[in-house]
Amino acid sequence: MTKTGSLNHFWQEYELIGTTKSLNNEIPSFRSCRFCGNDETKTTFKTDSHACPELLGENDFICFEECDECNKKFSAYETHLSTLVNPYMTMAGIKGKKKIPEFHSRTIDRDEETRTIIRVASDGHRQILIGAKVEDDCIIDNINSSLLLKCRLRPFRPLNVYKALVKVGLTLLPDDLVPYYKNSFNWLLKKSENVYIPICFITLLHKKKFVEPLVELYKAKLIYKEEGFYPELTLVVNFGNLIFQIFLPESDEHDYLKSNGQSPILEIYPASIYNNDFTQSASDELFDKVNFKYKFISSDLRSESMCLRDEIIPYSFGSVEMGNLD
C-alpha cells in the first residue's frame, strides 16, 4: 500500500530523529565503529568517513564511528549510487569531492559513435555531445524551449544503491537505537540476511537545487495501525536537484512482513514542496535555481544483478550547448 504524502500528513506520521545538520563534529577520545563493533585497539580510523557521500555534493559531514575497513566496503556500494546519479549531478552543476563530474554514457556494442557526453564548461554552460548514431538520445522541443535527454547509464547493481543509502541512514541513527538494528549493520557487512523494502522514491526538482546535501532520518510515531503498518525508519536525502526517499530495513524488535498479514503503508515525503517555495525542514541558503522539469518516480532496487538503465531527463535548453562527437 502506497500513500502519497500531503503537505502535513507525512509529519503527522513521522518525526525527525537525525540530520546532517546536527552531526557531532568532535573527534571522540576513544573511537569504535558502529558498523562492525571494532574499536581502535582492533582497527584503524585514518580515513575521514563521510556521513553523506561527497558524490552527492561537497560536504564536511564526517562520521567518526566508521573504521577504515568498513569505509572501504561501503565505498563499493557508493560506486553504484554514483552511476545512478551521475547525469543529474552533471546537469545540476554540483561539485563532488574534487569537481563537477562529467557524464559519459555507456556505448552500444562498444561503438564510440553511440556515446553521449555531458559536461559543464568553465562559463557554467552545460555541453551535451551526442554520438552520430544516437541523435535521438536528445529530443528537442523548440516551441516550449525544452528537451528530453536519454542518459544510458553504465551497468550498476540496484541493491548496492539501496545499501549505500541504508548506510547513510544507519550513520544518522541515534546511539540509543543502534542496539535495535544490529541485524541491519551485519547485513551491510554481508554477515546476515535481512527483511527490507527496496523501493526508492525519487523527486526531480525544477525550481531549486541543494548546493550542499541535506540528509534527514525520520521515525514512525506509531508503527501498527488497523489499515497496516508504517516502516519504522525512512531516510530522505536531498542533493543536487534530487530528493531520494527510502525505508530502512526492519529493526531487530519488529518483523514487519509477518505482522498478521498487514501491508506496509509507504508514506511518501512531500518533496514537491520545494517546487512551491516552501521549506519545512531545509534552509533556504542551500538552494539555487535550475531549469529542470518536475518529475517523480519510484524505483525498485531489489536486484543484485548488474543492470542497464536509461534515465530520461527533462530539461530547459536555454543554457545548453549542443554538439556532435567527432
Task: Encode pLDDT of 283-299 as tens digits.
Answer: 333 333 334 455 667 78
Instruction: Give the total number of structural domains in the chain.
Output: 2
| Residues 171, 286 share a domain | yes
Range of the domain at 278: 2-22+157-309
pLDDT classification of 54: cutoffs 50, 70, 90 = very high
| Residues 114, 7 share a domain | no
State the Cα–Cα distance between residues 192 and 204, nearest whole angstrom. Answer: 34
| Residues 230, 185 share a domain | yes
Q: Please name the amino acid found at residue 74.
A: F
Residue written as grid cell 547493481: 157
- Classify residue 176: in a domain, yes or no: yes
| Residues 303, 161 share a domain | yes
**Contact between residue 40 and residue 32 where contact means Cβ atoms under 8 Å apart:** yes
- List 322's β-bridge partners, or say none: 128
State the Cα–Cα distance between residues 183 and 194, nearest whole angstrom. Answer: 7
- Classify residue 211: in a domain, yes or no: yes
| Residues 288, 195 share a domain | yes
- Classify residue 266: in a domain, yes or no: yes
**Contact between residue 302 and residue 158 where contact means Cβ atoms under 8 Å apart:** yes
State the Cα–Cα distance between residues 143 and 140, nearest whole angstrom. Answer: 9
| Residues 276, 201 share a domain | yes
Sign of the CA dihedral with 121 first, then 125, 128, and 129 last? negative
252 φ, ψ (degrees, to nearest 5)? -65, -20
pLDDT, averaged across the chain: 86
State the Cα–Cα distance between residues 284 and 235, nearest whole angstrom. Answer: 20
Check pLDDT > 80 for residue 27.
Answer: yes
**Contact between residue 102 and residue 119 where contact means Cβ atoms under 8 Å apart:** yes
Residue written as grid cell 559519459: 104
| Residues 274, 296 share a domain | yes
- Classify residue 33: in a domain, yes or no: no
Give the per-residue pLDDT at 260: 63
- Classify residue 220: in a domain, yes or no: yes
User: What pTM did the predictor assign?
Assistant: 0.89
| Residues 207, 95 share a domain | no
| Residues 138, 196 share a domain | no
**Contact between residue 88 and residue 149 where contact means Cβ atoms under 8 Å apart:** no
- Classify residue 28: in a domain, yes or no: no
Give the per-residue pLDDT at 98: 84
| Residues 138, 13 share a domain | no
- What confidence tens digit (pLDDT) does each residue in 149-186 have? 899 999 999 999 999 999 999 999 999 999 999 999 99
- Classify residue 27: in a domain, yes or no: no
- Classify residue 216: in a domain, yes or no: yes
| Residues 142, 111 share a domain | yes
- List 311's β-bridge partners, or say none: 151
Pairing of strands 2-3, 266-267: parallel
